[in-house]
Amino acid sequence: MIGRDIYNNGSETDIASQFKAIQDSYPNKMVTLSEFGNVATFSRQWEAGCTWSFFMPWYDYNRTLEPGSAAFEGEDHEFAPASWWKNAAAHEAVLWREDLPDLK
């Protein structure tokens, strides 16, 4: 598995060229967007050819500690605002645990 970290790049075309370069260099490896922030939406990346095996943006861990707080409910974020997550979550290529078979 090859992980790519990308920050502050809103160009899905540029991100796709990075993805393709990695795939060309390591054709038998899965490619993941392992760390990122402030990038093009998941849907724009996918449409440009970035078929990431998985992705994980930076997030504000401290916000997750108090689910009832105003900060937890906030839509803004330095690296991946709620709009980015909502775009990704709504994409048909994103799988959820419920989409997978029971492997027990």
Provide the residue range defining the domain that includes 90. 2-96
| Structure-block tokens of residue 14 | 């540029």
Q: Is residue 50 part of a domain?
A: yes
Give the pLDDT mean for 2-7.
97
Q: Is residue 6 part of a domain?
A: yes
Q: Is residue 101 part of a domain?
A: no
- Whether residue 88 has pLDDT greater than 90: yes
Residue 49's pLDDT is 98
Domain count, the chain: 1
Cα separation, 15 vs 30, whole angstroms: 16
pTM as predicted: 0.86
Do the beta carbons of residue 38 and residue 8 sit within 8 Å? yes
Cα separation, 72 vs 64, whole angstroms: 6
Q: Is residue 102 part of a domain?
A: no
Q: What is the pLDDT of residues 27-80, one digit of tens each?
A: 999 999 999 999 999 999 999 999 999 999 887 788 788 888 888 888 888 888
Residue 51's pLDDT is 97
What is the distance of C-alpha 95 from the center of its chain? 12
Residue 65's pLDDT is 86
